[in-house]
Amino acid sequence: MKNNKRKFIPLIAALMAVLLVACGPSDEKLAEAEEARNLLAQAKQTAEDTYLDVSDTSQRSILDSLSDKEAEIEQLDFTKMNDKKIDEILPSIAELTESYQNIGKELSGVLTSETQIKEEKAKHKGLDVYFINKTGMNLSKVVLHDISANTYSDNFIGDGVVLQNGYTLMGVSLDIYSDSSQWEFVITDDVDTEYTLSCESLKGEDLKGASVVLSYDSAMATGEATLGGYFPQPEPEPTETTEAGAEAEGAEGESAEGESTDAATESTSE
């Protein structure tokens, strides 16, 4: 009889274990598993959202790999598991969550860097002007010195080119930094002597298309770059005319065009 009791006790324990499995997880363990899965979903969403805001696509393959693993976690039915099985899965969920958090931090750093670069670029505006050389010298270099930022532009004239005295250089674009407040021009003549020309403020949209008159007083050994007038622009052509009006207007246009060309030539050789 005693032997039968000893065999009966292990049998009861085995049956209880089966019943526990069949009953599913405890409420506490189920809540822990669901919370872990929610944290994983949040970490994934944060990383994916940040990725969409950056231009760097190098992390795409890593995110795709993590997404495949996260999809497997999403398909799990914790209600059909016991506490022991959930405990076996929880470390994998935590590891995947940490991977998403780490890549999210990396992407946040990239986003911060890219945002700073964009903001810095936005501070630079191109100012289209033209130079008139009234220095009394033939120039081989004209360089803009941003005193505030302590930066120098490239040579606007171009290597191997000379801007003769009295001539105009068209098509110049000055890079104006919005945080700066002081500029000067550094010019070099055709015998490599360098001069500094003081300059007034280059800020303002109204300056677009203006002339920059370069002048130098050799007796006083001082020079300046002053903002002058605007290069004459051709008048817009009418959109609709009669046939007779078109002929008359065409004749006037030829005359106007000739005058404009002469004016441009005169301006160039001032």
Model confidence pLDDT, tens digit, residues 20-66: 445 689 999 999 999 999 999 999 999 999 999 999 999 999 999 99
Q: What is the average per-residue pLDDT within 70-86?
A: 95
Place of tokens 């005693």: 2
**Which of 89, 42, 44, 74 lies closest to 62, judged by CA?**
44
The answer to whether position 164 is within a domain reads: yes
The answer to whether position 269 is within a domain reads: no
Model confidence pLDDT, tens digit, residues 165-213: 999 999 999 999 999 999 999 999 999 999 999 998 888 766 777 899 9
Domain count, the chain: 2
Whole-number Å distance between alpha carbons of 181 and 147: 8
**Per-residue pLDDT at 236:** 55
Provide the domain limits for residue 38.
20-121
Place of tokens 């007796």: 219
**Per-residue pLDDT at 252:** 42
Both 102 and 156 in one domain: the answer is: no
Both 189 and 146 in one domain: the answer is: yes
Model confidence pLDDT, tens digit, residues 204-248: 766 777 899 999 998 999 999 998 766 554 455 555 544 444 444
